[in-house]
Chain A
Amino acid sequence: DAGVIQSPRHEVTEMGQEVTLRCKPISGHNSLFWYRQTMMRGLELLIYFNNNVPIDDSGMPEDRFSAKMPNASFSTLKIQPSEPRDSAVYFCASSYWGQLNTEAFFGQGTRLTVV
């Protein structure tokens, strides 16, 4: 398996533009997580899905952020409009829910810079 695949790896955009981050989880995994990582706040869970259904989106900073999971093999995180304070590394992770203390497998992340 190729692991969790994220695209793009790097994104530079101007303030106000729409940004879409993409994630392909590991085949067979039924939980998917979107995280944001910054130096100041570390890893923050934004939202997670179980069997393609959003379970907890309490970490989504505001209405400018939205996430979808139309099927088991694809998810998107969209920011519209983007702001400079959204600059961070965004990680997607997947795991198999059904076991205690499951391992989360992370993608390589998307480094977003909003100028």
Chain B
Amino acid sequence: TQLLEQSPQFLSIQEGENLTVYCNSSSVFSSLQWYRQEPGEGPVLLVTVVTGGEVKKLKRLTFQFGDARKDSSLHITAAQPGDTGLYLCAGGRAGNNRKLIWGLGTSLAVNP
């Protein structure tokens, strides 16, 4: 059973388009992290959200944590080829946020 469901699984778009990827769960998390992983590399942290309804922006990337802290979304504006990669969400539980629960990821390809 995958506790964190990410959608879509694959996404291929043209440079300049906007996109949103989702991370959903029936469980409540104390924190939610988004990572990006490039081929041949390990995941790299993009952002951590901890408060229900929280919105964080990182240049063209906007992250939102659901009000009930069960889901999150990542929106990319005017995607660029450098945004290509695997986007992973990981949830931390209260009392043990070192043991992250990981989604399977959304594989994004941005074509020039």
Residues of A that sit less than 8 Å from B by CB: 4, 31, 33, 41-45, 48, 50, 55-56, 91, 93, 95, 97, 100-104, 106-109
Contact between chains at A100 and B42 (CB < 8 Å): no
Closest to B88 in A: A43
The complex places the Cα of A106 from the Cα of B31 at a distance, in Å, of 19
- Check B33 for interface membership: any CB of A closer than 8 A: yes
B99 pairs with A106, CB closer than 8 A: no
Q: Which B residues are in CB contact (< 8 Å) with A43?
A: 43, 88, 90, 102
Contact A42 B42 (CB under 8 A): no
Taken together as a complex, chains A and B put the C-alpha atoms of A32 and B105 apart, in Å, by: 22
Query: Which residues of chain B are within 8 angstroms of A91 by Cβ–Cβ distance?
Result: 42-43
Cα A102 to Cα B99 with chains together (Å) = 11
Measured CB to CB, the closest approach of chain A to B29, in angstroms, equals 11
Pick the contact of A103: B30, B42, B45, B88 (CB < 8 A): B45
> Given that A93-B42, A106-B43, A107-B42 are known contacts, is A48 also in contact with B99, CB under 8 Å in the complex?
yes
Query: B73 on the interface (CB 8 Å rule)?
Result: no
Query: What chain A residues lie within 8 Å of B90 (beta carbons)?
Result: 43
Q: Which residues of B contact A107 (CB under 8 A)?
A: 42
Distance (whole angstroms) from the CB of A107 to the closest CB of chain B: 6
Q: A101-B31, A101-B33, A107-B42 are in contact. Are A31 and B105 (CB under 8 A)?
A: no
Q: Name the one of B2, B40, B98 contacting A95, with C-beta atoms under 8 angstroms.
A: B98
* A48 CA / B100 CA spacing, docked (Å): 11
How many angstroms between the C-alpha atoms of A3 and B99 in the bound complex?
A: 21
Whole-angstrom distance between the Cβ of B36 and the nearest chain A Cβ: 11
